[in-house]
Amino acid sequence: MLLVLAVVLLALGLAGFLAGALGVPDDVVALLDQRASVISMVAGLAGLIVQLRVPAKAPSPRMVGLPRPPARRFVGRDHALRRLMAAREGGAGVRGRVICGLGGIGKSELALQYAHAHRARYELVWWIPAESAGQVRTGLAELGRALAAAAACRGPDGPGSLADRDAVAYALAWLGGHGKWLLVFDDVRDPEELEPYLGRLERGEVLITSRRTTGWDAVAVPISLPALPPQAAVTLLTDLIGGAGLDAAEVRGPADGPGSETADLRGPASGSGTEAANLHDATGGSELEVAGLRGLVDELGCLPLALVQAGGYIARTPGMTVTRYRRLLAAAPGRMHAAAPPGQSAADRHVIAQVWQVTRDTLAARDPLTVELLRLLACYAPDVLPMNALGTSVDVAESVALLAGYSMITLTGPGETAGQPLIGMHRLVHAVIRAELGDDDRRALRERAARLIEAALPGGPEDLSRWPLYARLLPHVRTVLTPDSPGTAEAIQYLAARGDLRTAHAWQRDRHTALHAALGPEHPGVLAARHDLAHYQGRAGDARAARDEFAALLPVRERVHGPEHPLALATRHALTLWTGQAGDPAAARDGAAALLPIRERVLGAEHPDTLITRHDLAYWTGQAGDPESARDQLLALLPVRERIFGPEHLQVMACRHVLTVLIGVLGDAPAARDEFAALARVQERLRGPDHPVTMNARHELARWTGEAGDPRSARRQFAALLPVRRRVQGPDHPDTVLARDALAYWEQRCRTARRRFTVARSRPRPRTGRAAATRRS
């Protein structure tokens, strides 16, 4: 309309200005005053220039240029959407936000969902693919042409004839003159590729997706996007596959009814609000079905692209089920990571096996060491890894930082891991890279990883300050080290020190098997492993089996080493110990009494092993029915141990523990209670709340609290201790059973005390004083 008006004004102005020259009659000329004609001509010409060269205030209708409708299946991202909204508020200039994360994590879909949901806020919403500087320039040029078309601004042959340079300039001019717009730059590889354009703008909003996590300070606020929450991932996968990919057995289970397997597998009913209940509600399936879906979700690392790929493959492949897909994934991961759903076009084959290749190519061009580190990381377990397990060179540190900058790994600051940053790799990235390795490469990389892990182990497995680092290294020790390696032996010692005796026993069994196969049954190293295996078996709760194993091992060691060799004496001592633990304290006492003079002669009176035998002799003397003699022996031993080891050494604390029990047994329950209160605090400080010796001190504290006259406190303490025993040692461990029995005992004592109190209150009280006198009168 304005363009037409400008042309009319220009025509009228020219007619008035040229009226005389054209021979127009005077009465007409009078109507067209030349001054007015000049003004009209100038105004028309100016209006035409404005219409041709300056963008309109706003395109009409509202412009939305998004690549496709948002996905219908979109779950688990409410928190991320709220973060995007929060980052939009405040700040001068262009408000930029960048969604950072691993390829396939769902960055583009999140940006699309946000742009579509909030499109009514803006005059312009536009999507620009941004994998390269050329794509950014092309996308802005297309935006400029679209704006020119909306404003009816045409080149010689229409808006499409605008050159890229002019179209980009037009787009930036329009954006600079408006504030209510949103540009989405998808998959930006380098922040510097946007700076020449965004630096010229002062208003509006930019939303960026990128695998880069660094370098955004001058452009946008980074928002990291994690994998989906497990419950949302199960919901998405269920929606993708529908009912076709669920096994009949998964859905129905075996025939229901009394005693059926379904009842056993389902276990106790989950209460409302639990994760199991929520997943069941989300899928509408049975517990067995949910378990299969959750297993697949876990194997895919809750990665949206992997879930979509797997869900589409299961839904479109005849006869495919979740169970069968999981079997194929385990047997041939490389093939399944590259498997697109049947019937999918080549252009849409966006599969896991390809999604990270561009990033890896970029990294290889910038720093070849990053590719080697990715391959090395794939040989470790898919758990966070302390950085020193990759080496300590500056080159490694720089390559790790580059990998984190491209979202191929996560890098978190040091916590309690001896100052070591923690490296995390998504389990699907781990699986894809691992599946690509040939046998020779995998063997060589695993050997390198084994050397690095051996070097990273901190030494001193009983040192509480080193336990966090051991805990982080443990899954990688199991993955890359052989059972007979020194590093595995050190890890087993750590497991036993922290009280995980069942795992220590299982690992030691594997170690003994490997050494036996490699060295033969009577090699000294094999006999040492056999000794430790029996010891961990006893500590894990099977005292009789430990006793029998030591009884079988002792003659072998005496024959191989000699009857008074320290190793043979150690096995003899262990046989004495587990004989007592298996229920024969008198035999254990006699065995310790016979062993003590031999150890004093062979090792010396103050050798640590000799002092252990003295301690055990006192202990089994008390257990066999002579607490006074046992107390006297320990009172003589305690100052010797304190002088040699210091007041808080494990052997000193063990001596104090047994001595305090004897004090209570001999009749001073309050003194035993107070001493165990102090011992429990020291043990927790030195070894942590879950260590067996700490739990033993808590057990005795509860016991002697009750014996000192406070059964309710004893009951509360045992009620708090029992779940810790169950979690750490297992429900069937003898110490757990003892704690359960003790809790039942003190509950019974409390009920008995309540009944006595109730009976006492119900009895009529004798009358005294004036009332009694009145009664008698």
pLDDT for the residue 244: 53
Q: Is the pLDDT of residue 278 over 80?
A: no
Q: How confident is the model at residue 58 (pLDDT cuts 50, 70, 90)?
A: very low
Q: Could you give the CA distance from residue 76 to residue 769 in angstroms, rounded to a whole number?
A: 78
Query: CB–CB of 107/99 below 8 Å?
Result: yes
pLDDT for the residue 254: 32
Please give the sequence-ordered ranges of beta strands (E in DSSP) within 17-141, or none if there are none.
Answer: 63-65, 95-100, 124-129
> Could you name the CATH architecture of 356-480?
Orthogonal Bundle (1.10)
Q: Could you give the CA distance from residue 556 to residue 550 in angstroms, rounded to a whole number?
A: 10
pLDDT for the residue 541: 85
pLDDT for the residue 289: 63
Q: How confident is the model at residue 52 (pLDDT cuts 50, 70, 90)?
A: very low
Q: How far is CA 291 from CA 2, 60, 285, 299, 479, in A?
A: 67, 53, 10, 12, 26
| Owner of token pair 């300050």 | 465
**When comparing pLDDT for 445 and 217, which is higher?**
445
Query: What would the pLDDT profile of 314-340 be if each residue is shown by its tens digit?
Result: 888 888 889 888 888 888 887 887 776
pLDDT for the residue 657: 96
Q: What does the pLDDT average to over 204-209?
A: 93
Core vs surface per residue 539-564: b (16+ CB within 10 A) or e: bbbbbeebbbbbeebbeebbeebeee
Q: How confident is the model at residue 688 (pLDDT cuts 50, 70, 90)?
A: confident
pLDDT for the residue 333: 82
Q: What does the pLDDT average to over 582-595?
A: 97
> Could you name the CATH architecture of 63-224?
3-Layer(aba) Sandwich (3.40)
- The whole-chain average pLDDT of the chain stands at 83
Q: How confident is the model at residue 162 (pLDDT cuts 50, 70, 90)?
A: confident
Query: What would the pLDDT profile of 614-655 be if each residue is shown by its tens digit?
Result: 999 999 999 999 999 999 999 999 999 999 999 999 899 999
Q: Could you give the CA distance from residue 456 to residue 473 in angstroms, rounded to a whole number?
A: 8
CATH of 667-757 given 3.40.50.1100, 3.50.50.60, 1.10.490.10, 1.25.40.10: 1.25.40.10
**When comparing pLDDT for 114 and 246, which is higher?**
114
Query: CB–CB of 115/184 below 8 Å?
Result: yes
Query: What would the pLDDT profile of 384-395 be if each residue is shown by its tens digit?
Result: 999 989 988 899
pLDDT for the residue 464: 73
Highest mean pLDDT among 61-70, 79-88, 98-107: 98-107
Query: CB–CB of 539/496 below 8 Å?
Result: yes
Q: Is the pLDDT of residue 768 over 50?
A: no
Boundaries of every domain in the chain: 2-53, 63-224, 230-250+279-353, 356-480, 667-757
Residue 776: Cβ within 10 Å count:
7
CA 312 to chain centre: 27
Q: How confident is the model at residue 122 (pLDDT cuts 50, 70, 90)?
A: very high
Q: Is the pLDDT of residue 38 over 80?
A: no
Q: What does the pLDDT average to over 505-532?
A: 96
Q: Is the pLDDT of residue 450 over 90?
A: yes
pLDDT for the residue 756: 60
Q: What percent of the chain has pLDDT over 70?
A: 79
